[in-house]
Structure 1
Amino acid sequence: MAELWVADLGLVPYDEALALQRAVRAARQAERVPDVLLLLQHPPVYTRGRRTDPAELPLGEAWYRERGIDVVDVDRGGKVTFHGPGQLVGYPIARVTDVLGFVGLLEDAMVAALEQEGLAARGRAAEGRDWTGVWVQDRKIGSIGLHVSHGVTTHGFSLNADLDLEPFSWVVPCGLSTPMTSLSAERGGGPVDLRCLRKRVAHEVAGRLGVKQRLVTRARLERAIALEDDRAPVVHEDAVVQVAGDGAR
């Protein structure tokens, strides 16, 4: 049975995680590894997708950086979003043929995981790319933004567990003037067991892909992708999926 390798990386700086994604992508394109799901958190950072308008960061990059939030331009679809501790970020590096179907799969996996946490949510990708993600009534709790190169995805999704939501109010998240929420906020406050949420999401993604989940350490993953041979892979970027999200951006 085909496998999905799942690696729990903990708290990882954004640039470091992006470099790892690209190395895993090169290995996946070369069929050295199966599909991989990286699960992690980031220090505070805004990421800007290719459709981001400068007006969506109205206070200026210097203002954000003074408050300890980095600003990074990325090659995913979607617009600006925020990542920070207390948010579950997932980067699926997967071979896909139906990209929009894969977006729906990620929405469904997050919705199912939240349902197991006692929260009713829904995906809205069918309503148009600006509504892609996971919602609790009119509040957005999960975002998706992908990049596809030679049939393999990078970037992915983010799911707000118990992170500080205030930085979302300092930008126009995902290009929408809609409220952002979190699992903690919907429960009325308090911590969220991220380890449990992470396991639920990974299980749901693997199940919807119809594959067996295999947990791997970062060291095991790096050995498999032979990072020392992939420091400067030549990869032609051939598709950007224009979906709003974060995600995991």
Structure 2
Amino acid sequence: MRLHRGTPRQGPGTAEDVRWALEALGVSGEARVLDAGAGSGADTETLAEALPKARIEAVDASPALVAEARARLARFGPRVTVREGDMARVEGPYDLIWCAGALYFLGVTEGLRAWRGALAPGGAVAFSEPVYLTDPPSEAARAFWAGYPAITDLSGLEVRVRAAGYAVEAVRHLGPEAWRGYMDALEGRIGELEASGARPDDPALAAAMAEARAEVAAWRAAPGDIGYALVLARPA
């Protein structure tokens, strides 16, 4: 958390990805929206701007990120709320559950099943998930995702969605443009901490910084081989 403190977002994505999902799903007006695993609130902010009449709830397990999100989203008043909690345990009903790069904590099939009862009739889930872009995957992609054995290609991801009782409505590839801002900010934060001399006084932070530095370097070596899929799905 100390490493990511102050970074604008904690994973790949852009505001345009959020707007694309809202348009594709037809979410508008007084919608009820959950941002699950909201982090510091980057996508919650876009949701609130794009849906000025909606009621939006953001939930995250990290107290530090919840505090950042509350400060970031205070300008929207009571229609946007942020709470600390377990994103697997939500009640709804929601017209949209948005989850950027966090569903893997629950498992795609398991998480979608857990959320089904929290969706309003006609409600949908929009989530982003790592995928291999080629079959077979490149060596660069295998190395980058070595710590995530559940990763598949897009067809394998769609199988997991259907296993949860959902139908895939649309998919958007999140390529280098969605990753660059995240990686640039993460690299900048590492530089700030190194310049401050923070690393030597905290072995855990030093390890996190080294891991993040390696992740950034691996992505920069092969940005075209590493991607997410943004999946729009509804209960079948």
Choose 1 or 2 for highest CA Rg.
2
- TM-score, normalised with respect to structure 2: 0.27
- TM-score, normalised with respect to structure 1: 0.26
Bigger RCO (CA 8 Å, 6+ sep): 1
